[in-house]
Amino acid sequence: MGGIRPAGWDLPRRPTARTNGPGRGAGSAAGGPAEPAGDAARVGPAGPWYTRTVRLRLIQIDAFADRLFEGNPAAVMPLPSWLPEEVLQAVAAENNLSETAFYVADLPPGVAPPPGGEPAYHLRWFTPQVEVDLCGHATLATAGHLFDDVHPDAERLHFWTRSGWLAVARRADGRLELDFPAGRLRPVPADDPTSAAAVAALGIDPQERMVDTDLVYVLRDAAQVRAVVCDFTGLRDLPVRGVVVTAPGDEVGVDFVSRFFGAAAGLFEDPVTGSAHSQIAPYWARRLGRSRLTARQLSARGGTIGCAVDGDRVRLSGGYRRYLDGEVTLPEPPGVVGVRASDEPPAQGRRYLWAGPQ
């Protein structure tokens, strides 16, 4: 999705020359069209140029990570109000991470906050290609930012999402624990065409074939999981979010391992996938006869996920490491309301003063 420019947007630009000669409107570039009048243009030291821009915070956090450069990096972007969907998708494509999480402090109309008065937000997740219904690592990253920057004394946060209410608690050991709905894996026939295409793309001979949000294949051992080489062209058109391969762990303290390859989600291999573990943890809990498990995702970055299965819920826990705090500059979207602009000099453009929940 590189090169996306949402309809109605233009990047700020500065004319290379200026003249007010005959036949040209005031503020026109030499040989070019007249510059727009009013608030859409400003006059600076080098002439008029577009300055209607907004600046938004971006925090990048490695989730399910015990050290920097481990786990899955997610971009977290607080918003004062929702930008147009095509803008959110374009920003996620530009960030080019597995997911970008956007959140606002206002809940949708008709959605009541959870009881207890704990902080609650509206959260959405975008891959570089699509908005997704559930994402573990970007939820953990968002909660890490909010606990660190906004709610240092809170013990629990709540997020309204496309999958309903999700909660994130802070544990005594500093890890965060996500409360997610448990997946319901069901068997897939060996001759199912979608499954057969995925098996061919992965080059595997699975012991079990299952599906929920993702296709899930159980392999004989962790060595087979490590050895998978995926032909992504064989997955990208399949009508599932992604494909998981999993097997018993072969390291001390690791109960099961996995890898995740994107299909409709538009990803190659995801470093650590929390939502996949909400599907496979109940399977391993039944198979191993324990409700508390430790999982390791065997991507190049790797990551460790604690899993606690409790009926129709799965609690996923992990650490996080903050990597980047920055600012994204965007042209101001047409028609967006509720913007708080600064009183900076015109050459500095317009700016959101809102830097997160107050």
Cα–Cα distance for residue pair 85/88, rounded to 1 Å: 5
Contacts with 273 (C-beta within 8 Å, 6 or more apart), sequence order: 72, 136, 137, 242, 244, 258, 260, 297
* Residues facing residue 131 across a β-bridge: 126
Amino acid at 265: A
Q: What is the 3-state secondary structure (H, E, C) of the chain?
A: CCCCCCCCCCCCCCCCCCCCCCCCCCCCCCCCCCCCCHHHCEEECCEEECCCEEEEEEEEEEECCCCCCCCEEEEEEECCCCCCHHHHHHHHHHHCCCEEEEEECCCCCCCCCCCCCCCEEEEEEECCCCEECCCHHHHHHHHHHHHHHCCCCCCEEEEEECCEEEEEEECCCCCEEEEEECCCCEECCCCCHHHHHHHHHHCCCCCEEEECCCEEEECCCHHHHHHCCCCHHHCCCCCCCEEEEEEECCCCCCCEEEEEEECCCCCCEECCCHHHHHHHHHHHHHHHCCCEEEEEECCCCCEEEEEEEECCEEEEEECEEEEEEEEEEEECCCCCCCCCCCCCCHHHCCCCCCCCCC
Token pair 């995702």 in the structure block, residue: 297
Q: Which of the following is catalytic: 70, 99, 177, 269? A: 99
Cα–Cα distance for residue pair 334/54, rounded to 1 Å: 12
Structure tokens at 259: 């890898």
Residue 332 among the catalytic residues = no
Q: Give φ, ψ of 279 to 5 degrees.
A: -90, -45
Active-site residue numbers? 99
